[in-house]
């Protein structure tokens, strides 16, 4: 079965300009100067018990992106405090990505901006870029 493709109809050269969106104040640059690899599950068939086969993630070549971690809610339960951060990754318009994919770590040079792997919770197509709402997942 062919994998669904999400496209906005814009060319990849229409990468989002600095004025396209306002993001958190913790972002030093609005340009896509980070890198990420989209990972696709290539597993087929079933396991010996008839369930879905264990995922086999294969990474595509790296693409330009902008990783954003914004402050989220803070919850205090008893003596423990949990801080939640909203994570978003912006990729160029026309990038083939779905919620069935996941992302590896977002990097800038040798530095890790957002550790991976990250599950894609939502794909939001904007005029000149695609916004991915992501959540960090444990080891699989």
What are the chain's domains? Answer: 12-44+52-136 (2.40.10)
Residue 31 has a pLDDT of 82
By mean pLDDT, which of 12-21, 48-57, 91-100 is the weakest?
A: 12-21
Task: Tell me the whole-structure pTM to 2 decimals.
Answer: 0.69
Q: Tens digit of pLDDT for each residue in 18-71?
A: 333 333 333 333 589 999 999 999 998 888 888 888 999 999 999 999 999 887
pLDDT-derived band at 111, boundaries 50, 70, 90: very high
71 contacts: CB under 8 Å, gap ≥ 6 = 24, 83, 85, 86
> What letter would DSSP give residue 37?
-
Residue 13 CA to residue 18 CA, distance in Å, equals 14
* 75, β-bridge pairs: 82
H-assigned helices in 11-104: none
């Amino acid at each position: 079965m062919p994998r669904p493709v999400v496209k906005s109809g814009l060319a990849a050269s229409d990468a989002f300009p600095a004025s396209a969106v306002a993001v958190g104040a913790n972002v030093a640059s609005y340009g896509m100067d980070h890198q990420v690899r989209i990972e696709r599950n290539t597993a087929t068939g079933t396991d010996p018990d008839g369930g879905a086969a264990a995922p086999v993630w294969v990474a595509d070549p790296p693409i330009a992106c902008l990783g954003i971690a914004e402050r989220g809610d803070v919850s205090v339960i008893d003596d423990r405090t949990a801080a939640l951060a909203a994570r978003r990754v912006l990729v160029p318009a026309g990038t083939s990505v779905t919620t069935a994919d996941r992302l590896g770590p977002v990097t800038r040079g040798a530095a890790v901006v957002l550790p991976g792997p990250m599950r894609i919770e939502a794909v939001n197509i904007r005029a000149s870029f695609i916004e991915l709402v992501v959540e960090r997942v444990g080891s699989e």
